[in-house]
Structure 1
Amino acid sequence: MQFNHYSMHGAHLAADLANLERNTPAHLVRAVLRGHAVVETELDNDAARTDLLRWADRLDACFGLPADDRLYGLVNALLAESTGSPYISAHDGRPHLHYRLPDSGVVARIKAITSSGLAQVICGGGADRLGRCERARCEVAFVDVSRNGRRSYCSVRCANTAAVARHRATAAEMADPAPLRDVRSHHRDSLPSGHR
Structure 2
Amino acid sequence: MQFTHYGGEAALLAVDLVNATVTGAPFTPESLAPLLAAHGTDRRPLTAGEAAEVAEWSQRLRPCFGPQDPAGRRDAVNRLLTEAASKPYITVHDGHAPHLHYADPALGLVAHIRAITAAALAHVICFAGQNRLGRCARARCGLAFVDTSRNGRRAYCSVRCANNDAVARHRSRAGAP
- The answer to whether the 8 A contact 2:54-2:110 is kept is yes
Task: Please give the alpha-carbon distance, in whole angstroms, between the structure 2 residues aligned to 1:171 and 1:94.
Answer: 58
Alignment of 1:24-103 (within 5 A): 24-44=27-47, 46-92=48-94, 93-103=96-106
The Cα shift of 1:84 comes to 2.4
Which of structure 1's runs of 4+ aligned residues deviate more than 6 A?
none
Distance 1:15 1:41, change over 3 A: farther
Aligned to 2:18: 18
- The answer to whether the 8 A contact 1:10-1:113 is kept is yes
Identity percentage of aligned residues: 48
Describe the SS at the equivalent of 2:138. coil
Task: Please give the alpha-carbon distance, in whole angstroms, between the structure 1 residues aligned to 2:86 and 2:150.
Answer: 32
Supply the AA of the counterpart residue of 2:61: L
The Cα shift of 1:167 comes to 1.2
Which protein has the larger Cα radius of gyration, Structure 1 or Structure 2?
1
Task: Please give the alpha-carbon distance, in whole angstroms, between the structure 1 residues aligned to 2:147 and 2:53.
Answer: 27
Counterpart check, 1:157 vs 2:131: no
Task: Please give the alpha-carbon distance, in whole angstroms, between the structure 1 residues aligned to 2:115 and 2:5.
Answer: 16
- The answer to whether the 8 A contact 2:134-2:144 is kept is yes
Task: Please give the alpha-carbon distance, in whole angstroms, between the structure 1 residues aligned to 2:46 and 2:139.
Answer: 34
Which runs of 5 or more residues in structure 2 are unaligned?
none
Task: Please give the alpha-carbon distance, in whole angstroms, between the structure 2 residues aligned to 1:61 and 1:6.
Answer: 19
Alignment root-mean-square deviation, CA = 1.8
TM-score by length of 2: 0.90
User: Residues 17-76 of structure 1, C-alpha deviation per residue, up to 9 Å, x if partnerless?
Assistant: 1111364333111111111011224112x2211111000011111101334222212111
Which runs of 5 or more residues in structure 1 are unaligned?
176-196
The Cα shift of 1:97 comes to 1.1
Describe the SS at the equivalent of 1:138. coil
- The answer to whether the 8 A contact 1:64-1:131 is kept is yes
Supply the AA of the counterpart residue of 1:89: T
Supply the AA of the counterpart residue of 2:90: I
Distance 1:83 1:95, change over 3 A: farther
Task: Please give the alpha-carbon distance, in whole angstroms, between the structure 1 residues aligned to 2:97 and 2:138.
Answer: 39
